[in-house]
Amino acid sequence: MSFRLLPWEYAIRNLFRRPSRTILTFAGLSTVLVLVLVVVGFIRGLERSLEVSGNPRTAVIFSLGMGDNLEYSSIPMRTSDLVPASVPGIQERFGQKFVSPELYLGTEILLDDGTESMGLVRGVTPAALLVRNRVEIETGDWPNSGEVLVGRMAAAKLGATADELEVGRTLSLEGRPWRISGVFSAGGSAFESEVWCRLDELQQAMKRQDLSLVAVTLSPAGNFGDIALFCKERLDLELQSIRETDYYATLQKDYGPVRWLAWLVVLLVSGAGIFAGLNTMYGSVIGRIPELATLQTIGFVRRALAVSLLQEGLLLGAAASLLASLLGLAFVNDAAIRFTMGAFALRIDSVAVLVACGIGLLLGLCGAIPPALRALRMPIVDGLKAV
């Protein structure tokens, strides 16, 4: 059986009849949705940083039994010469094989202003630019003696400002001053939170002659099984290998509890928003009981009134979602955040916006249903008498 609905503009007019209450509800919903966007942006940024860090044709050779702790790995320096000589199918360009020996560790870094923070340092050779094909030097040059190259997210990792890590500034590492020669990007990968310097100089500063890992990029015809076979045959070196994409997939799995905790925060924040919306909508609807009873008296059925109240809630939720999305894209997107793996940028993408808008509409809907049921269950006569 059909029934007559109230005009759509009736719900809109009702929102402006009580501007203070509407503004408070709108501000509360918008705040909740901005918090949701921040948390979802954290999850999406972490996932993207790990997803883009691996090259599907690159393998990492490191110390046996290290799990995914590359910073604790230690392999002989000669490994970087033995791998290209023993493993077929390594990509090559102009006689240069794509083999990058690297020393990777976490250490204290002292900035010009005296601030000391734990940073990630990678000693590399120019071959790193072949293997790490996402790396691009945005400003400055490749480091010479006594110089370092910093990732664009290194400032966030060190708790510094971008100005403190500009080209020409200095930082202290292992008791030595290093001049910043350039800033690089790496397509949003985890490398962007690192400080790079020449391998031989980092070994000298650390008083080490070993490596942490050797990164190898295979040609399309190459076989990862050849690298695994090399590691098994050279028992004296105690090596193991893993695809770079598998390594970062392992990190994704390790950070799984963190992502679940973040989704729990989203759920809790959304729940708080629903209760706040319920409280405000209850006050709004209860104050309109005589009006709702009058509408029933002149012929509008309770379902039509319920639809109108739901329209009000959905309008508020949709408007709050739109404002929160605009604020998120303007102020939250690409904001840098420190994390154990380094630093990464919050990512407000289509998924984050969709989640926030869905929660916004849900808040508006859930906030309107209980008070609508409460008001419309009251007998018409009692409603007309209500003050």
- Give the pLDDT confidence of 5-42 residue by residue, as tens digits: 777 677 777 777 777 777 888 888 888 899 999 999 99
Would you state the pLDDT for residue 174? 84
* Residue 1: pLDDT over 60: no
Nearest-angstrom CA–CA distance, 195 and 337: 17
- pLDDT band (50, 70, 90) for residue 287: low
Would you state the pLDDT for residue 286? 66
Would you state the pLDDT for residue 293? 73
Distance, first Cα to last Cα, the chain: 33
Question: What three-state secondary structure class fits 349?
Answer: coil
Residue 168 main-chain phi, psi, to 5 deg: 100, -20
Amino acid type, 36: V
Q: What is the DSSP string of 83-115?
A: HHHH-S-B-EETTEE-EEEEEEEEEEEE-TTS-
Which tens digits make up the pLDDT trace of 156-169? 998 888 888 999 99
Higher pLDDT, 180 or 70: 180
Boundaries of every domain in the chain = 8-51+256-381, 65-237
- Whether the Cβ atoms of residue 202 and residue 147 lie closer than 8 Å to each other: no
Strands 239-243 and 58-63: antiparallel
Amino acid type, 168: G
Which tokens sit at 241? Answer: 């290998």
Nearest-angstrom CA–CA distance, 172 and 157: 15
- Whether the Cβ atoms of residue 217 and residue 91 lie closer than 8 Å to each other: yes
Which candidate, 108, 127, 128, 110, places its Cα nearest to that of 119? 108
Amino acid type, 340: T
Nearest-angstrom CA–CA distance, 248 and 51: 7
- pTM of the prediction? 0.82
- Whether the Cβ atoms of residue 320 and residue 34 lie closer than 8 Å to each other: no
* Residue 303: pLDDT over 90: no
Q: What percent of the chain has pLDDT over 90?
A: 46
Q: How far is CA 368 from the centre of its chain?
A: 33
DSSP bridge pairs for 217: 58
Which candidate, 123, 88, 349, places its Cα nearest to that of 218? 88
Which candidate, 373, 366, 310, places its Cα nearest to that of 14? 310
Q: How far is CA 90 from the centre of its chain?
A: 33
CA distances from 357 to 46, 203, 247, 328 (A): 21, 51, 34, 12
308: left (phi over 0), alpha (psi -120 to 50) or beta: alpha
* Residue 59: pLDDT over 90: yes
* Residue 261: pLDDT over 70: yes
Would you state the pLDDT for residue 313? 82
Mean pLDDT computed over 71-94:
92
